[in-house]
Amino acid sequence: MADHNGIAKQFVDYYYQTFDSNRNALGALYKDVSMLTFEGQPFQGVQAISEKL
């Protein structure tokens, strides 16, 4: 059985390390149907999310 907490921690660690060092690389984690809400504003899709990040 998968260690869900361990997998989630690895993902979060990777995400924030990449966010701090190379934000543009985070676009690979999103799809056109992905959504990000920041301060109440929604952003949908790779391009919109990447621009916001």
33 vs 36: CA distance, rounded Å: 10
Q: 4-52 maps to which CATH number?
A: 3.10.450.50
7-21 pLDDT per residue, tens? 999 999 999 999 999
Residue 1: the pLDDT is: 63
In the chain, domain spans:
4-52
38-49 pLDDT per residue, tens? 999 999 999 999
Query: What's the pLDDT band for 2 if we cut at 50, 70, 90?
Result: confident
Which parts of the chain are beta strand (E)?
Answer: 35-38, 41-44
Give the predicted TM-score (pTM) of the model.
0.76
